[in-house]
Amino acid sequence: MASLIDASAELDVDPRGVNSGVAPVTYGHGERPPRGDYAQARADYTCEQDWAAYSTADHDLYRRLYERQAAQLKGLACDEFIDAIGQLGSPAQIPRFDALSEKLQRATGWEVVAVPGLIPEEAFFSLLSQRRFPVTGWIRRPEEFDYVVEPDVFHDLFGHVPLLFNPMFADYMQAYGAGGLKASRLESCENLARLYWYTVEFGLIDTSAGLRAYGAGILSSAGELRHSVTSREPLRVGFDLERIMRTRYKIDSYQSTYFVIDSFKQLFDATAPDFKPVYERVAGLHELAADERLPTDRVF
Ligand code: PHE
Ligand code: FE
Protein backbone atom coordinates (compact mmCIF):
# COMPACT_ATOMS: atom_id res chain seq x y z
CA MET A 1 0.00 0.00 0.00
CA ALA A 2 1.32 3.40 -0.93
CA SER A 3 1.31 4.71 2.52
CA LEU A 4 4.22 6.80 3.53
CA ILE A 5 4.77 10.40 2.85
CA ASP A 6 6.77 9.24 -0.11
CA ALA A 7 9.98 11.20 -0.04
CA SER A 8 10.87 10.12 -3.56
CA ALA A 9 10.34 11.89 -6.85
CA GLU A 10 6.80 10.52 -6.85
CA LEU A 11 5.85 13.50 -4.75
CA ASP A 12 5.10 16.61 -6.61
CA VAL A 13 3.75 19.95 -5.56
CA ASP A 14 0.71 20.73 -7.63
CA PRO A 15 0.91 24.29 -8.90
CA ARG A 16 -2.85 24.52 -9.51
CA GLY A 17 -5.31 25.98 -7.10
CA VAL A 18 -2.88 27.74 -4.81
CA ASN A 19 -4.94 30.58 -3.41
CA SER A 20 -4.02 30.62 0.23
CA GLY A 21 -2.55 28.25 2.75
CA VAL A 22 0.09 26.04 1.20
CA ALA A 23 0.41 24.21 -2.11
CA PRO A 24 -1.42 20.87 -2.25
CA VAL A 25 0.71 17.76 -2.65
CA THR A 26 -0.26 14.78 -4.80
CA TYR A 27 1.17 11.42 -5.74
CA GLY A 28 2.55 11.29 -9.25
CA HIS A 29 2.63 14.27 -11.51
CA GLY A 30 -0.63 16.04 -11.05
CA GLU A 31 -2.85 13.35 -12.53
CA ARG A 32 -4.50 12.66 -9.20
CA PRO A 33 -6.34 15.63 -7.76
CA PRO A 34 -5.07 16.56 -4.30
CA ARG A 35 -7.15 15.26 -1.39
CA GLY A 36 -7.59 17.44 1.66
CA ASP A 37 -8.02 21.14 2.28
CA TYR A 38 -4.61 22.76 1.98
CA ALA A 39 -6.07 26.28 2.16
CA GLN A 40 -6.42 25.94 5.95
CA ALA A 41 -2.86 24.73 6.55
CA ARG A 42 -0.09 26.74 8.18
CA ALA A 43 3.32 27.28 6.60
CA ASP A 44 4.60 24.11 8.29
CA TYR A 45 1.66 22.22 6.69
CA THR A 46 -0.07 21.51 10.00
CA CYS A 47 -3.74 22.38 10.46
CA GLU A 48 -6.52 21.86 12.99
CA GLN A 49 -8.20 18.49 13.22
CA ASP A 50 -11.80 19.44 12.51
CA TRP A 51 -13.17 16.68 14.74
CA ALA A 52 -16.74 18.02 14.69
CA ALA A 53 -16.78 17.66 10.91
CA TYR A 54 -16.52 13.86 10.98
CA SER A 55 -19.89 12.26 10.27
CA THR A 56 -21.40 9.24 11.99
CA ALA A 57 -20.53 7.28 8.86
CA ASP A 58 -16.88 8.41 9.16
CA HIS A 59 -16.64 7.19 12.75
CA ASP A 60 -18.34 3.96 11.79
CA LEU A 61 -15.90 3.38 8.94
CA TYR A 62 -12.98 3.98 11.32
CA ARG A 63 -14.44 1.45 13.76
CA ARG A 64 -14.86 -1.19 11.06
CA LEU A 65 -11.31 -0.67 9.80
CA TYR A 66 -9.97 -0.80 13.36
CA GLU A 67 -11.86 -3.96 14.28
CA ARG A 68 -10.85 -5.81 11.13
CA GLN A 69 -7.17 -5.07 11.80
CA ALA A 70 -7.25 -5.57 15.58
CA ALA A 71 -8.72 -9.04 15.05
CA GLN A 72 -5.66 -10.25 13.14
CA LEU A 73 -2.80 -8.75 15.16
CA LYS A 74 -2.16 -11.77 17.37
CA GLY A 75 0.76 -13.80 16.06
CA LEU A 76 1.41 -11.31 13.25
CA ALA A 77 2.14 -7.93 14.91
CA CYS A 78 5.06 -7.40 17.29
CA ASP A 79 4.34 -7.24 21.03
CA GLU A 80 5.37 -3.58 21.30
CA PHE A 81 2.62 -2.71 18.83
CA ILE A 82 -0.03 -4.91 20.44
CA ASP A 83 0.81 -3.56 23.89
CA ALA A 84 0.33 0.04 22.73
CA ILE A 85 -2.67 -0.21 20.42
CA GLY A 86 -5.05 0.44 23.32
CA GLN A 87 -3.53 3.91 23.69
CA LEU A 88 -5.58 4.94 20.65
CA GLY A 89 -8.65 4.74 22.86
CA SER A 90 -12.08 3.50 21.92
CA PRO A 91 -12.40 2.32 18.32
CA ALA A 92 -15.97 3.64 18.29
CA GLN A 93 -14.82 7.08 17.17
CA ILE A 94 -11.93 8.64 15.30
CA PRO A 95 -9.59 9.72 18.11
CA ARG A 96 -9.15 13.36 19.03
CA PHE A 97 -5.55 14.23 18.22
CA ASP A 98 -5.12 16.53 21.24
CA ALA A 99 -6.12 13.82 23.72
CA LEU A 100 -3.82 11.33 22.02
CA SER A 101 -0.96 13.84 22.04
CA GLU A 102 -1.28 14.26 25.80
CA LYS A 103 -0.74 10.53 26.31
CA LEU A 104 2.11 10.42 23.81
CA GLN A 105 3.80 13.45 25.34
CA ARG A 106 3.83 11.72 28.70
CA ALA A 107 5.18 8.46 27.24
CA THR A 108 7.87 9.59 24.80
CA GLY A 109 7.59 13.33 24.26
CA TRP A 110 5.93 12.92 20.85
CA GLU A 111 2.69 14.52 19.70
CA VAL A 112 0.44 14.03 16.70
CA VAL A 113 -0.44 17.01 14.53
CA ALA A 114 -3.10 17.23 11.84
CA VAL A 115 -2.13 17.78 8.21
CA PRO A 116 -4.44 18.07 5.18
CA GLY A 117 -2.85 15.07 3.41
CA LEU A 118 0.50 14.37 1.79
CA ILE A 119 3.08 17.02 2.59
CA PRO A 120 6.44 17.86 0.97
CA GLU A 121 9.38 15.84 2.20
CA GLU A 122 11.15 18.77 3.89
CA ALA A 123 8.05 19.69 5.88
CA PHE A 124 7.69 16.02 6.83
CA PHE A 125 11.32 15.66 7.97
CA SER A 126 11.11 18.91 9.89
CA LEU A 127 8.03 17.78 11.87
CA LEU A 128 9.59 14.40 12.69
CA SER A 129 12.78 16.08 13.88
CA GLN A 130 10.60 18.03 16.35
CA ARG A 131 8.88 14.82 17.54
CA ARG A 132 5.63 15.83 15.86
CA PHE A 133 3.99 13.12 13.78
CA PRO A 134 1.78 14.38 10.93
CA VAL A 135 -1.58 12.61 10.72
CA THR A 136 -3.95 13.06 7.79
CA GLY A 137 -7.27 14.56 8.87
CA TRP A 138 -9.59 12.87 6.36
CA ILE A 139 -10.81 9.30 6.31
CA ARG A 140 -11.13 7.22 3.13
CA ARG A 141 -14.46 6.70 1.36
CA PRO A 142 -16.46 3.53 2.18
CA GLU A 143 -15.60 2.07 -1.24
CA GLU A 144 -11.92 2.37 -0.27
CA PHE A 145 -12.39 0.01 2.69
CA ASP A 146 -9.91 -2.51 1.29
CA TYR A 147 -7.47 -0.20 -0.46
CA VAL A 148 -6.65 3.48 -0.42
CA VAL A 149 -3.76 5.01 -2.38
CA GLU A 150 -2.93 7.99 -0.17
CA PRO A 151 -2.49 7.58 3.58
CA ASP A 152 -5.66 8.51 5.51
CA VAL A 153 -6.37 9.02 9.21
CA PHE A 154 -6.78 5.28 9.78
CA HIS A 155 -3.42 4.34 8.29
CA ASP A 156 -1.62 7.18 10.02
CA LEU A 157 -3.09 6.56 13.47
CA PHE A 158 -3.49 2.81 13.60
CA GLY A 159 -0.30 2.06 11.66
CA HIS A 160 2.11 4.62 13.04
CA VAL A 161 1.08 5.93 16.44
CA PRO A 162 1.33 2.78 18.64
CA LEU A 163 5.09 2.40 18.11
CA LEU A 164 5.64 6.08 18.89
CA PHE A 165 4.88 4.96 22.47
CA ASN A 166 8.04 2.81 22.36
CA PRO A 167 11.05 4.88 23.53
CA MET A 168 13.62 3.32 21.19
CA PHE A 169 11.40 3.51 18.13
CA ALA A 170 10.37 7.05 19.06
CA ASP A 171 14.03 8.09 19.09
CA TYR A 172 14.59 6.39 15.74
CA MET A 173 11.76 8.39 14.18
CA GLN A 174 13.17 11.67 15.40
CA ALA A 175 16.66 10.74 14.18
CA TYR A 176 15.11 9.87 10.83
CA GLY A 177 13.57 13.34 10.57
CA ALA A 178 16.86 15.06 11.37
CA GLY A 179 18.59 12.72 8.91
CA GLY A 180 16.03 13.66 6.29
CA LEU A 181 16.83 17.34 6.55
CA LYS A 182 20.48 16.43 6.02
CA ALA A 183 19.70 14.08 3.13
CA SER A 184 17.81 16.92 1.40
CA ARG A 185 20.96 19.03 1.44
CA LEU A 186 23.00 16.09 0.15
CA GLU A 187 20.39 15.20 -2.48
CA SER A 188 20.11 11.67 -1.14
CA CYS A 189 16.42 11.69 -0.25
CA GLU A 190 15.62 8.75 -2.46
CA ASN A 191 18.09 6.52 -0.61
CA LEU A 192 16.75 7.67 2.73
CA ALA A 193 13.12 7.24 1.61
CA ARG A 194 13.89 3.57 0.95
CA LEU A 195 15.03 3.21 4.55
CA TYR A 196 11.68 4.63 5.71
CA TRP A 197 9.80 2.39 3.35
CA TYR A 198 11.54 -0.84 4.35
CA THR A 199 11.49 -0.11 8.09
CA VAL A 200 8.78 2.32 9.25
CA GLU A 201 6.27 1.21 6.60
CA PHE A 202 7.10 -2.42 5.78
CA GLY A 203 9.51 -3.63 8.44
CA LEU A 204 9.51 -7.09 10.03
CA ILE A 205 11.17 -8.01 13.31
CA ASP A 206 12.60 -11.38 14.36
CA THR A 207 11.36 -12.39 17.81
CA SER A 208 11.66 -15.51 19.95
CA ALA A 209 8.09 -16.36 18.88
CA GLY A 210 8.87 -15.92 15.19
CA LEU A 211 8.70 -13.12 12.62
CA ARG A 212 6.35 -10.24 13.39
CA ALA A 213 5.35 -7.02 11.63
CA TYR A 214 6.20 -3.56 12.95
CA GLY A 215 5.77 -1.53 9.73
CA ALA A 216 2.72 0.73 9.55
CA GLY A 217 1.96 -0.08 5.91
CA ILE A 218 1.52 -3.75 6.74
CA LEU A 219 -0.09 -3.31 10.14
CA SER A 220 -2.85 -1.16 8.63
CA SER A 221 -3.34 -3.39 5.57
CA ALA A 222 -6.11 -5.98 5.52
CA GLY A 223 -4.25 -8.46 3.34
CA GLU A 224 -0.55 -7.66 3.51
CA LEU A 225 -0.18 -8.23 7.25
CA ARG A 226 -0.65 -11.98 6.97
CA HIS A 227 1.09 -12.11 3.61
CA SER A 228 4.22 -10.36 4.84
CA VAL A 229 4.64 -12.60 7.86
CA THR A 230 3.47 -15.99 6.60
CA SER A 231 3.43 -16.23 2.79
CA ARG A 232 6.13 -18.29 1.08
CA GLU A 233 6.21 -15.85 -1.82
CA PRO A 234 8.18 -12.80 -0.68
CA LEU A 235 11.88 -12.61 0.06
CA ARG A 236 12.76 -11.78 3.68
CA VAL A 237 16.25 -10.43 4.19
CA GLY A 238 18.17 -9.45 7.33
CA PHE A 239 18.46 -5.71 7.85
CA ASP A 240 21.34 -4.24 5.84
CA LEU A 241 21.46 -0.46 5.53
CA GLU A 242 23.25 -0.18 2.19
CA ARG A 243 21.25 -3.01 0.68
CA ILE A 244 18.04 -1.19 1.63
CA MET A 245 19.23 2.14 0.26
CA ARG A 246 19.86 0.46 -3.10
CA THR A 247 16.56 -1.38 -3.32
CA ARG A 248 13.63 0.01 -5.28
CA TYR A 249 10.13 -0.57 -3.92
CA LYS A 250 6.62 -1.07 -5.19
CA ILE A 251 3.92 1.44 -4.32
CA ASP A 252 0.96 -0.37 -5.88
CA SER A 253 1.23 -4.00 -4.79
CA TYR A 254 2.48 -6.14 -1.91
CA GLN A 255 6.24 -5.86 -1.45
CA SER A 256 8.47 -8.53 -3.03
CA THR A 257 11.10 -8.09 -0.33
CA TYR A 258 10.81 -7.36 3.39
CA PHE A 259 13.77 -6.53 5.62
CA VAL A 260 13.98 -8.07 9.06
CA ILE A 261 15.48 -6.37 12.12
CA ASP A 262 16.57 -8.25 15.26
CA SER A 263 15.48 -5.46 17.60
CA PHE A 264 14.63 -1.76 17.63
CA LYS A 265 18.00 -1.21 19.25
CA GLN A 266 19.71 -2.78 16.25
CA LEU A 267 17.74 -0.47 13.97
CA PHE A 268 18.65 2.59 16.01
CA ASP A 269 22.33 1.70 16.32
CA ALA A 270 22.75 0.76 12.66
CA THR A 271 21.33 4.11 11.56
CA ALA A 272 23.13 6.29 14.13
CA PRO A 273 26.41 6.83 12.19
CA ASP A 274 26.82 9.70 9.75
CA PHE A 275 25.17 8.70 6.45
CA LYS A 276 27.26 11.01 4.25
CA PRO A 277 29.89 8.35 3.42
CA VAL A 278 27.12 5.76 3.09
CA TYR A 279 25.30 7.90 0.52
CA GLU A 280 28.58 8.33 -1.38
CA ARG A 281 29.21 4.59 -1.50
CA VAL A 282 25.63 3.80 -2.48
CA ALA A 283 25.74 6.38 -5.28
CA GLY A 284 28.53 4.34 -6.88
CA LEU A 285 26.58 1.07 -6.78
CA HIS A 286 23.79 0.03 -9.12
CA GLU A 287 20.21 -0.03 -7.88
CA LEU A 288 18.51 -3.31 -7.07
CA ALA A 289 15.10 -4.36 -8.35
CA ALA A 290 12.40 -4.82 -5.73
CA ASP A 291 12.57 -8.61 -6.12
CA GLU A 292 16.32 -9.07 -6.57
CA ARG A 293 18.17 -11.54 -4.37
CA LEU A 294 21.87 -11.16 -3.57
CA PRO A 295 24.25 -13.99 -2.59
CA THR A 296 25.12 -11.96 0.51
CA ASP A 297 21.50 -11.75 1.70
CA ARG A 298 20.75 -13.26 5.09
CA VAL A 299 17.50 -14.91 4.07
CA PHE A 300 14.78 -15.78 6.61
N1 PHE B 1 22.60 8.84 10.97
C2 PHE B 1 21.84 9.43 9.91
C3 PHE B 1 22.62 10.52 9.17
O4 PHE B 1 23.68 10.88 9.55
C5 PHE B 1 20.54 10.02 10.43
C6 PHE B 1 19.49 8.99 10.50
C7 PHE B 1 19.19 8.32 11.67
C8 PHE B 1 18.77 8.70 9.36
C9 PHE B 1 18.18 7.39 11.70
C10 PHE B 1 17.76 7.77 9.40
C11 PHE B 1 17.47 7.10 10.56
O12 PHE B 1 22.16 10.99 8.18
FE1 FE C 1 2.65 5.65 6.52
3-state secondary structure of 206: strand
Q: Does the annotation count 220 as an active-site position?
A: yes
Q: Is 299 in the pocket of ligand 1 (CB under 6 A)?
A: no
Cα(128)–Cα(162) distance, integer angstroms: 15
Closest ligand 1 atom number to CA of residue 274: 4
3-state secondary structure of 79: helix
| Neighbouring C-beta atoms of residue 296, cutoff 10 Å | 9
Q: Is 143 in the pocket of ligand 1 (CB under 6 A)?
A: no
DSSP letter for 222, please: T
pLDDT at 20: 59
Ranges of beta strands (E only) in 119-209 are 132-136, 204-207
Instruction: Tell me the pLDDT of the chain (300 aa) as tens digits.
Output: 333 444 333 333 444 434 457 888 877 656 777 888 999 999 999 999 999 999 999 999 999 999 999 999 999 999 999 999 999 999 999 999 999 999 999 999 999 999 999 999 999 999 999 999 999 999 999 999 998 888 999 999 999 999 999 999 999 999 999 999 999 999 999 999 999 999 999 999 999 999 999 999 999 999 999 999 999 999 999 999 999 999 999 888 899 999 999 999 999 999 999 999 999 999 999 999 999 999 999 999
pLDDT at 29: 55
For 211, the enclosing helix (H) or strand (E) is strand 210-213
Whole-structure pTM value: 0.92
Active-site residue among 129, 150, 155, 188? Answer: 155
Cα(72)–Cα(2) distance, integer angstroms: 21
For 70, the enclosing helix (H) or strand (E) is helix 56-70
Cα(145)–Cα(220) distance, integer angstroms: 11
Ligand 1 centre to CA of 175 (Å) is 6
Q: Is 155 in contact with 200 (CB distance < 8 Å)?
A: no
Q: Is 142 in the pocket of ligand 1 (CB under 6 A)?
A: no
Q: Is 272 in the pocket of ligand 1 (CB under 6 A)?
A: yes
For 114, the enclosing helix (H) or strand (E) is strand 111-115
